[in-house]
């Protein structure tokens, strides 16, 4: 009897803490998902690379200049990431923490985290040479997180949170821009079609692994038009300032393969919602028509010349533009938080449509 009483008291306490911590959004009684779990690269990494022995970090100024208190957290932009803004849109905290942040503990575990690592990709050959976290390690870190969650709040609560959460993966740009197209060994081993198929095998394994951990909602974010990134134009379009269309065609064809993969594997995952989110079209429209969205500059990043600077090349000694809100890009590779806000709103609407559609779930 005493043991039953203790177990009951623990369960009641866990539920009480959960109701205390879950934030409320005006006009919304409860979050639309229990938690947000994100995997991928620098577009969604809020600082997991900070403790790693890598140069691919951004935990120094001028990164974070528009973050609360002007604090550089390891986010590769001037303020909040897409994932922070998505978390808020879903009715969760307005900052999605890094899973490796020492402050990520206690009640913060309840509403999710980013397990992403800047410069990571689908392929191990993209991540390992730079001493960042491959996708396999990101999933392993999720498993460790799940153990911590269960220890603190009980297995039933942990399983419920995971099963009602949205899992999102957003990666792949570094596989092409910083691996295939600059590494002669990779290009010597694979044609571009073979390399794309290799990445799809990694994506399939990711879906298999997180579904085994209890994921029931999995969003796969497609590639952006990475031929329009300032650094890629600088490096590859020697004759002008226009997007490097070869890269955009690779991104488009890979996105088509992701969508085909999702349709093919759906029967293997009954009860699991797996859906595609398009990043390409909205970002391309912003880049092609910046003034429509309130931007002035889409060719250069705000930091330095904006043509090549990123990571350690964008540092406290680098001059940055006075008003990042007028720029599509913060550095030569990553958008500003103002651009991320527009994309986050678009991805949020796509996610809502998928989650609420009776035809998308098996």
Domain assignment present for residue 295? The answer is no
Element (H, E) at 327: strand 327-329
Domain assignment present for residue 321? The answer is no
In this prediction, residue 360 carries a pLDDT of 53
The residues carrying an active-site annotation are 42, 331, 334
Residue 264: how many CB atoms within 10 A of its CB? 10
Domain assignment present for residue 65? The answer is yes
Domain assignment present for residue 266? The answer is yes
Domain assignment present for residue 292? The answer is no
pTM to 2 decimals?
A: 0.91
Domain that residue 196 falls in: 33-281+340-356
Give CA–CA dist 92/109, Å, rounded: 12
Contact 305, 295 (CB under 8 A): no
In this prediction, residue 357 carries a pLDDT of 82
For residue 199, what are the CA distances in angstroms to 68, 109, 164, 254?
Answer: 36, 30, 27, 9
Q: What is the pLDDT of residues 322-360, one digit of tens each?
A: 999 999 999 999 999 999 999 999 999 999 999 998 665
In this prediction, residue 15 carries a pLDDT of 39
In this prediction, residue 362 carries a pLDDT of 52
Domain count, the chain: 1
Residues of the chain with confidence (pLDDT) below 50: 1-29
CA atoms within 13 A on the CB side of 169: 32
Domain assignment present for residue 324? The answer is no
Domain assignment present for residue 260? The answer is yes
CATH number at residue 100: 3.40.50.1110
Domain assignment present for residue 203? The answer is yes
């Amino acid at each position: 009897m005493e043991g039953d009483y203790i177990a009951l008291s623990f369960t009641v306490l866990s539920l009480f803490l959960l109701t205390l911590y879950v934030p409320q959004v005006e006009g919304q009684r409860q979050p639309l998902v229990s938690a947000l779990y994100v995997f991928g690269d620098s577009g969604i990494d809020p600082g997991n690379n900070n403790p790693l022995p890598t140069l691919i970090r951004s935990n120094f100024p001028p990164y974070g200049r528009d973050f609360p208190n002007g604090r550089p957290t390891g986010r590769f932009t001037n303020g909040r990431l897409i994932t922070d803004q998505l978390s808020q849109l879903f009715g969760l905290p307005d900052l999605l923490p890094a899973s490796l942040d020492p402050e990520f503990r206690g009640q913060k575990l309840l509403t999710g985290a980013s397990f992403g690592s800047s410069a990571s990709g689908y392929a191990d050959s993209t991540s390992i040479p730079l001493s960042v976290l491959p996708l396999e390690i990101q999933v392993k870190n999720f498993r460790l997180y799940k153990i911590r969650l269960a220890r603190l709040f009980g297995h039933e609560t942990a399983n419920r949170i995971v099963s009602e959460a949205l899992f999102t993966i957003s990666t792949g740009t570094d596989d092409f821009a910083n691996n295939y197209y600059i590494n002669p060994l990779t290009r010597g081993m694979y044609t571009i079609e073979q390399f794309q198929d290799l990445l799809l095998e990694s994506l399939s394994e990711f879906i298999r692994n997180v579904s085994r951990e209890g994921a029931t909602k999995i969003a796969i974010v497609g590639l952006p038009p990475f031929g329009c990134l300032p650094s890629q134009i600088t490096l590859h379009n020697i004759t002008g300032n226009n997007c490097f269309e070869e890269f955009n065609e690779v991104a488009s064809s890979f996105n088509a393969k992701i969508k085909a993969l999702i349709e093919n594997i759906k029967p293997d995952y009954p009860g699991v919602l797996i859906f595609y989110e398009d990043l390409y079209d909205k970002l391309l429209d912003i880049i092609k028509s910046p003034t429509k969205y309130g931007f002035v500059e889409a060719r250069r990043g705000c930091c330095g010349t904006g043509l090549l600077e990123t990571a350690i090349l964008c540092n406290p000694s680098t001059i940055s533009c006075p008003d990042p809100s007028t720029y599509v890009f913060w550095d030569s590779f990553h958008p500003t938080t103002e651009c991320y806000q527009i994309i986050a709103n678009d991805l949020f609407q796509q996610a809502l449509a998928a989650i609420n559609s009776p035809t998308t779930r098996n």
